[in-house]
A = this chain, B = another copy of it.
Amino acid sequence: MEKSEAIAYTMTGGSGLHSYSKNSNFQMKSIGAAKELINKSIAEKLDVNIFSSSNTLRLADLGCAAGPNTFAAVQNIIDALEIKCRSEGKISQPPEFQVFFNDQASNDFNQLFTTLPPERRYFASGVPGSFYGRLFPRASLHFVHASHSLQMLSTVPKEVTDRKSPAWNKGRIHYSNSTNEVVKAYEAQYAKDMENFLKARAEEIVQGGLLAFVIPGRPSGAPHSEAFGNRTAELLGSCLIDMVDKGKISSENVDSFNLPAYYASPQDVEAVVKRNGYFSIETIEHLPQQMPRSKEFASALRAGMGGTLKKQFGEEILDEFFDLLYKKFEENLSFIFESGKAISLFVLLKRIVTE
């Protein structure tokens, strides 16, 4: 029923030193920054009639990882929905909430489930699978949320690792300083993935329901090379090249490795939403990112990418690689994290009422 999961970027599970659950403070700040926008969205844009018949509100957090950020995000949404329901006074019985925590099947759901907030006021469930395919029944969700997950592509575009393709991305692991062919391959993959994402969500979200997501992106009109995410990717790439120069890994291994991530602009988002046709764009806002501390950011990257790098290059390089990354990041912070260019996008879409 679901698309095959290509190279899933699964966050490091458990609760150990390099785990996502202990190293996701960077992403947490973004959830804090989005909180007011979510409150406003629910207060102003949500019509409570969409759930007055069932009296159960169904929420999903897509790309939830293993916690704890997802718990804070979900609690924000529920608090806002409760206020909305009370203020409208239309609801005879207080609604019940069912929350679906979604991530790849390889995500550490055991960690997620054993650390659920004991005092939660919702029924929790976990949904394994790629959000680029269907995950839920037709018209079953009222509010869908995704934070820092939709920048991950379903897969690396095939041609960029194909030596015979004009889009072969030799010596690089990302697109922002690559040839036009490579950039186009990434843009096409993003468009295709978002097409699948919106098609699936259009079926799953009730008419009038909301879809809110936060993605690390780039400002309107900004070139790819200015995005914080892309500058970080370039830095990662340069650390890998350094490791090649030191003889720690092979250049072929770097050539065959690319990051399946894309940092969108508001125009990118508008284009895919319009092409899909089932959602109205209610809000697209720039959310300034807070400059992370270098150590914190390197740890967050290790929690997010450690597993993938281990698979590609072997566990023995990890400590050295992330030490190097930390140092380079520290040295280049003001370039990588350029004020006004290091932004996230907060996007709010509403499922159009068609019948």
Contact = CB atoms under 8 A, between A and B. Distances in A.
A116 B106 CA distance: 12
Nearest to A114: B105
B105 A1 contact: no
Chain copies in the assembly?
2
A126 B140 CA distance: 17
Interface stretch (A18-26, A130-138, A268-276): A130-138
26 contacts: A1-B121, A1-B123, A55-B138, A56-B137, A56-B138, A56-B140, A96-B138, A98-B136, A98-B140, A100-B125, A105-B114, A105-B116, A108-B110, A109-B109, A109-B113, A110-B110, A113-B126, A113-B128, A123-B127, A123-B135, A123-B136, A123-B137, A124-B127, A125-B126, A125-B127, A126-B127
A282 to B, nearest CB: 27
Interface residues of A, number: 32
Contact of A126 (B108, B109, B137): B109
A137 B95 CA distance: 9
Contacts of A129: 124
A122 interface: yes
A173 B160 CA distance: 64
Q: Which 4 A-B pairs have the closest CB atoms?
A: A113-B128, A56-B137, A126-B126, A96-B137
A311 interface: no
Interface in A74-125: 96-98, 100, 105-106, 108-110, 113-114, 116, 120-125
A1 B118 CA distance: 7
Contacts of A108: 110
Interface string A146-162: 00000000000000000
